[in-house]
Structure 1
Amino acid sequence: MNYEVILFDADGTLFDYDKAEAHALEKAFKYFNFKYKEENELKNYRLINKQIWIDYENGEIDFKNLRIERFKRLFKNYEKKIDFNEFSNIYLSQLADGIFLIDGAEEVCRYLFEKYKIVILTNGIKDVQLSRINNSPLSKYIHDIITSEETGYKKPDVGIFDYTFNRIGHLDKGTTLIIGDSLSSDIRGGINYKIDTCWYNSIHEENNSGLKPNYEIKDLRQLIKLL
């Protein structure tokens, strides 16, 4: 395990996206004086947003349409007239302020920073991710941040990995490890690119994907012993 580069996913791996998402949606609803009940609006939005990102991974929708399509679906039967672009902009601005770390993230990044080059590789929206990461306690431990939006590719496409390796000037796949919570993007992407993979499975999800990550962890702090 002579790794030199650690590729981290962001949301669901280092950052608690669920908290950021809940924070942003509630703030956006309040901004527009819309009625908000977490058990209704947040639940519906999460179902819609999850499917939207699956569609994005599968190449069925692009970033521009993703930003507003989820709100079109959310407010499909809403009585009030809504400017979906404006609602999306307010939501994203609040999301960019939602800096909530996964337990152990700062401790682990501090430890790994002394030994490896740490790169965040995310399918998230560029402006949102850069704001959240650069304003977080993790920023001083991250060597580079690469988003799918800027590369023109997305995990699990090999193109985003080619871009990453070229940008950081690293050519050795054998000394690279990707860590992420998504089997479909992080782990599949790493396996397709022939680099080692570590599945962060904090929710004890059953792996029915047929993919076999090199490592599986339930807590980020396990990386301190592993690496």
Structure 2
Amino acid sequence: MNVDQLTFNSQGLIPTVIQDANTLEVLMVAFMNKESLEKTLQTGETWFYSRSREELWHKGGTSGNVQAVQEIRFDCDADTLVIKVVPAGPACHLGTRSCFTNILFHKQGVIVPIGDVLTQLENTIAARFKEMPEGAYTTYLFEKGIDKILKKVGEEAAEVIIAAKNRDAEELKWEAADLLYHLFVLLQEQDLPIQEVARVLHERSQPKEEKASEE
């Protein structure tokens, strides 16, 4: 990335949108100048320019809530950045995961972001695995072990097949949700992050270069 490609405003700043690399949730918006961007590139963690304090600041430098940079993009006019990060903690100074928690308008029936749901599911199951709360079904599965978990994955897969064979969309969505849940429990038991599965799917979805035919 060539920083000279970018267009900074009259104050030498460029607006920067910070996005969770896994869920694509917008975490915060801040400003960078050329120096803070260069430090971000050098360190692999986000640095910004504070307009009120007129100085650079390292996100998480005090709180520990650093943001590990995964990708930096700029728009068609080269005057706005989008940075995908893996956050070590809340992005907002109020202690929330994202600065965008206040709702001005919400349409009923809005599409649920699948990335957010799967990440929350993985985090919930990981917490159950760590804390093993008494009476929780997830705790029961972990206590019973791999054979029980595999049995449930198989049973739920069969239920999905039956619902699909019967053309029962209502039943299918419930059985598919049960299958995904038990699959996530299995991945946790195997210590395999869903991000590794996502990486495989991402690689498979990329267009492959066709080999030149031999004449």
* TM-score, normalising length: structure 2: 0.26
**Which has the bigger relative contact order, CA under 8 A and spacing at least 6?**
1
Larger radius of gyration: 2
Structure holding more helix per residue: 1
Structure holding more strand per residue: 2
* TM-score, normalising length: structure 1: 0.25
